C-alpha cells in the first residue's frame, strides 16, 4: 500500500496556468525545471511540485502511474 501523501501527489491536478486540470505527472519535465528556477511556492502544493520535479528528474514516474485513481 502506498503512502497517502504519494497517492495524493499522484492524483493532484494543476489548479492554474497553462496546464490547469492536468495531473502533475502529465506535465512536462521542462515546466518543473522552469518552475524550480522561478521558485516553488512556500505551500503544501509547492512541496508537491518540488517532489514531482525530483520524481521526473530521476525518471521515477512509473512509481506514480499505478496510484492514479481511474
> Would you kindly state where each structural domain of the chain is located, as residue ranges?
4-67
Cβ–Cβ < 8 Å for 24, 52: yes
Residues 38-49 have a mean pLDDT of 95
Torsion angle (degrees, nearest 10) of CA 56, 14, 2, 63: -30
- Which tens digit of pLDDT belongs to each residue from 45-64? 999 999 999 999 999 999 99
| CA atoms of 18 and 55, how far apart (whole Å) | 21
Predicted pLDDT at 46: 95
b/e 13-47 (16+ beta carbons within 10 angstroms → b) = ebeeeeeeeebbbebeeebbeebeeeebeeeeeee
Predicted pLDDT at 3: 84
Predicted pLDDT at 1: 61
Average pLDDT, the chain: 94
The model's pTM is 0.90
Amino acid at each position: 500500500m502506498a503512502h497517502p501523501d504519494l497517492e495524493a501527489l499522484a492524483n493532484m491536478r494543476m489548479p492554474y496556468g497553462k496546464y490547469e486540470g492536468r495531473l502533475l505527472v502529465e506535465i512536462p519535465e521542462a515546466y518543473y525545471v522552469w518552475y524550480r528556477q522561478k521558485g516553488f511556492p512556500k505551500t503544501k502544493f509547492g512541496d508537491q511540485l518540488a517532489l514531482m520535479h525530483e520524481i521526473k528528474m530521476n525518471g521515477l514516474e512509473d512509481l506514480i502511474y499505478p496510484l492514479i485513481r481511474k
